[in-house]
Amino acid sequence: MRPNRLPAAVCTLWLAGCGASVTVSPTAASDVPDAGAPRDVPAPRDNPTTPADVVVAPVDVPPPPVDAGPPATNLPLGAACARDAECASHVCAQTPGIVSGCAQPCTRDADCLAVNPNDACVLDRAPGGGRFVCGLVAPAMVDRGGACTGDGDCISGFCLESVCHNACATDAECLAGWHCGAQPVGAASVQACRANPITGVTVETYTLGEGNYVTQRPTNPWSVVAPPDTVSLTWVTQDLTGADLYAAASTITDPNARTLVDLRTWNTLHEQPVREIPARLQVNVSTFPGRDMEPMVPGMFQSSHVLLNAATGMAAATHRLRASVLVKRAPGGVAAAGWAISVQFIVVGLPGLSAATIGSTARMRAAIARMQQIYGAAGVVVNIRGFSDATDAARLTTIDTQDEFHALLQQSAGLPDGVLPVFLVQSIADTAGLEGAVGVAGAIDGPPGIQGTVQSGVVAGWSSTLAGANDILGQVLAHECGHFLGLWHTRENLPACTTAGQMMCSIWGGVDNVTDTPAGPTAANYLMYWSTDGRNTALSAGEALMMRLNPLVR
C-alpha cells in the first residue's frame, strides 16, 4: 500500500536483508505547508520526491573496480608468470621442482644449449598436458635409461615405468631399445624416446657401435634399454675385416650394475648368467638370460666388446668391429609356446639328389617330421623355408678340414635374416678335427640372422646318419639346431674341467647349467646328450625355455 504523503515525524525504512537504512527529513522545502493555502490542501511541488516505498541502493555496495590495465605480455625467459599468454615464449612452466616461469619449448637437449648450457629438455606436466621445455631439475643425477622412482630423479624430469626417458626429434636421440615417438602425458602427448608398441613376439636389431678398433682393447661401454616386456637380449660382436680374429663381449652389466660377463674373470670352471663362450672366430653371440633360473631385468644394460688376436705374440692390428644387440619382446615378457623357427636346407653334392628333388624323398620328409615332433614338444614350430644347392659342392661334400667347414658355412651369404641354414653333406671326416661328429653347429649360440660368416649355420651328414635300418638324420638335425639355439650337452663325453687352463676337458662341469637337466645316467635320454642312438628325444622345460628365448624363434 502506498501513502499519499509522509507524516511529519521522521520515517525510517529498513531494507530487508541488509543493515543499511534510508532516513527522510521533513525539513525539505517541498514538504513544508504553504501558509496561505488551506491546511488540508497539499502544497504544490515543483520536483516531486521519490515515493517512500521505492528501494534505494544500499550504501555498502563496493565501488567499481579500479582498471588494472592490460594483462602482462612478452615476459622474458625466467620471469614469474601465471599463464602461457604472458610469456614471449608462449610457455609458462609451473611443474614443482622442475621449472618455474616463462620457459623455452624444446624437442631435444641440444635445443637448450643457446638458452643455458646447464639446461636440459625437461618435462613440464602442465594442466593441459605434458610438454618439454628448457629447464633444470636440481639435484637430479639420473640420465636417460637410468632407474628412477619419480620425475625428480631424472635430468629430463620424466620418469616412466621406473626408467628416465628423454625428449627427442628423431631416433638418433634414443638409446638402443627405444624409438622416438608419441608418448601420452596427461591430456597431451610428447615426442619422447620409448619402446615401440607391440602386439606379438617382436625382434628388434640395434647397432650399438661400428668402427676401427685396435685388437685386445675393449670398446667403451654401449647401452641398451630392455623394455618391461623384454624376453631376451642377444649381443653380437663381429669382425667385419675378415675371419682371422676372435670376437667377444668383454663386459656386460645389468640395470643393477651386476656383472654378467667379464673376460678378465671368465674361466671354464663356472657358467655365467649370460650364455657365452668368448673367443669365437669372426663373430660371437652372448644371450641373457643364459639359464632358466635367471629372470629378465628391465632397464639399461651396458656392454663393451673386443677383438682378440688368434695367437699369443701376434702384433696388435686395427680391424673393423661391429657390436649389435637383438631385443626380443613379447606381450607380458613371456616366452610363449607356439613360436616358430625357419630352416633353409642347402644340398652339398649328394649323389643323385639336388634342391629340386630331395624335399620329395621319403627319407627327407621323415627327418623333417621327426625334428618337428621333437621341437613341437618344446613349444617350437619348425617351418621349412625351402631347399637350395651349394656351390663348390664336389670339394665340400665331405668335410675334411675345419677350413672347409668354415668355407661351407660362409655359403649362407644371401639367405634372408631370421633363417637358420642347414647344410646337408655326405659326411664329416675324422681328419676334420671335429671329434668324428656326424653333425656340427657353427657355434653355441649361433649368430642369429647374420649370414655368410664362419659360424652361420649347422652341418649334418647325409650318409653318416644312416646305418642300415637305423636312420638318425632327424635326430641329428634337431640336436645341431638345438646347439645353434643355445643348448649345451646335458652331459659331455670329456671329463669336467677342474683347473683353469686345463685342456681336453668339458667346461662348466661337463653339463648344461639348466636347473631341470640331469647330469646322471638319465642324461642319455635327452636330445642334447653328446651321442645318440635315435631314441633320446627328451627336452626339459628349462631347455625348451632357452630355445624359445633365442631371437630366431619368433
308-312, 318-322, 431-435: least confident range:
308-312
Query: What pLDDT, on the 0 to 100 scale, is given for residue 391?
Result: 95
For residue range 244-255, list pLDDT tens digits in order: 899 999 999 999
Residue scoring higher pLDDT (127 or 207):
207
pLDDT at residue 7 tops 90: no
- All structural domains of the chain with their residue ranges: 1-64, 84-194, 203-333, 361-549
Q: Is the pLDDT of residue 186 over 80?
A: yes
Q: How would you write 22-52 as a 3-class SS string? A: EEECCCCHHHCCCCCCCCCCCCCCCCCCCCC
10 pLDDT exceeds 70? no
Q: How far is CA 26 from CA 8, 10, 33, 419, in A?
A: 6, 7, 11, 113
Query: Each residue of 392-430: pLDDT tens digit?
Result: 999 999 999 999 999 999 999 999 999 999 999 999 999
Whether the pLDDT of residue 275 is over 80: the answer is yes
Check residue 385 and give its pLDDT: 97
Q: What pLDDT score does 63 carry?
A: 56
pLDDT tens readout for residues 198-244: 999 999 999 999 999 999 999 999 999 999 999 999 999 999 999 98
Structure confidence at residue 253 (pLDDT): 97
From the list 430, 465, 484, the residue with the least C-alpha distance to 350 is 465
Angle formed at CA 15 by CA 13 and CA 19, multiple of 5 degrees: 105
Query: How far apart (Å, rounded) are the C-alpha atoms in residues 98 and 152?
Result: 7
For the entire predicted model, the pTM comes to 0.84
User: Per the structure block, which three cell numbers stand in for 511?
Assistant: 653339463
Q: What is the pLDDT of residue 9?
A: 35
Q: What are phi and psi of 364, to 5 degrees?
A: -65, -40
Q: How far is CA 540 from the centre of its chain?
A: 29
Average pLDDT, the chain: 87
Average pLDDT over residues 336-344: 97
**pLDDT (0 to 100) of residue 23:** 34
Question: To 5 degrees, how large is the angle CA 164–CA 169–CA 171?
Answer: 75
* Stretch 430-436: mean pLDDT: 86
pLDDT in tens, 467-490: 878 899 999 999 999 999 999 999
Comparing CA positions, the residue from 401, 505, 504 lying closest to residue 454 is 401
Dihedral sign for Cα 461, 462, 464, 465, please.
positive
pLDDT for 280 equals 86
The pLDDT of residue 13: 30
What is the pLDDT confidence band of residue 64, given thresholds at 50, 70 and 90? low
pLDDT single digits (tens) 283-297: 999 999 999 999 999
Percent of the chain with pLDDT over 70: 87
Phi, psi angle pair for 507, to nearest 5°: -70, 155
* Mean pLDDT confidence for 56-74: 57
The CATH homologous superfamily of the domain defined by 361-549: Collagenase (Catalytic Domain) (3.40.390.10)
Distance from C-alpha of 441 to C-alpha of 239, rounded to nearest angstrom? 20
Residue 60 confidence class, pLDDT cut points 50, 70, 90: low
Return the pLDDT at 62: 54
Give the side-chain half-sphere CA count within 13 A for 126.
Answer: 23
What is the grid cell recorded at 446?
649361433
pLDDT category at 322 given cuts 50, 70, 90 is very high
End-to-end CA distance of the chain: give it in Å, rounded: 95
Cβ atoms of 349 and 425 within 8 Å: the answer is: yes
Burial class from Cβ neighbours inside 10 Å (0-12, 13-18, 19+) for residue 82 reads exposed
Whether 331 has a pLDDT exceeding 90, the answer reads: yes
Q: Is the dihedral of CA 372, 373, 375, 376 positive or negative?
A: positive
- Band (47; pLDDT cuts 50, 70, 90): very low
Nearest to 289 by CA among 23, 545, 6: 545
Q: What distance in Å separates the CA atoms of residue 539 and residue 490, rounded to the nearest whole number?
A: 10
Q: What's the CATH code, domain 203-333?
A: 2.60.120.380
Range with the largest mean pLDDT of 138-142, 378-382, 496-500: 378-382
Cβ-based burial of 447 (10 A; exposed 0-12, middle 13-18, buried ≥19): buried
Greater confidence, 4 or 449?
A: 449
